[in-house]
Amino acid sequence: GWCPLSPAGAQTTQLLVEPAWTPAVLWDRVTLTCQGSGTAGATTWYKDGQSWWPKGPNHFTVTESGTYTCDRPGSRLSSPVTVLNDWLVLQVPARTLLEGDTVTLRCRA
C-alpha cells in the first residue's frame, strides 16, 4: 500500500543535478531535474528566490549562474541548487556526506 512520508501526504520535491558535484559550475553543462508528484508540465522553477519558469519542463540545461529551486503540485519546494560561474571551484560529490565518509574532492579551474 501507499504510505505518506509526512503529514497530509505532502512530499518534498527532489532537485537532482548532473554532473553530481556541488557546487555545480556553469561550464559543466549542468542539467537540473525536478522529481516529485504532480502532472507532467506542471513544474515551476525559481531562480534566486523569484518565480522564473512557471509550467516549465521537468529538466533543462542551465545557461545562467544562480540558485535554483523547483516545485511540483502536491509537493513541497525543493532544496536549492547553486550553479556558479567562478574560475576556481572546490567540489564535493552532490550527496549526503556523513562523518567518517571517504570523500573525493575536485579542484576545478
Distances (CA, A) of 86 to 6, 22, 43: 38, 13, 28
Supply 10's cell numbers: 505532502
**Tens place of pLDDT for every residue, the chain, 109 residues?**
433 444 445 567 889 999 999 999 999 999 999 987 766 668 999 999 999 999 889 999 999 999 999 998 878 899 999 999 999 999 999 888 889 989 899 999 8
- In CATH, the number for domain 14-108 is 2.60.40.10
The Cα–Cα gap between 33 and 88 comes to 25
Contacts for 61 with CB less than 8 Å, ≥ 6 apart = 29, 30, 31
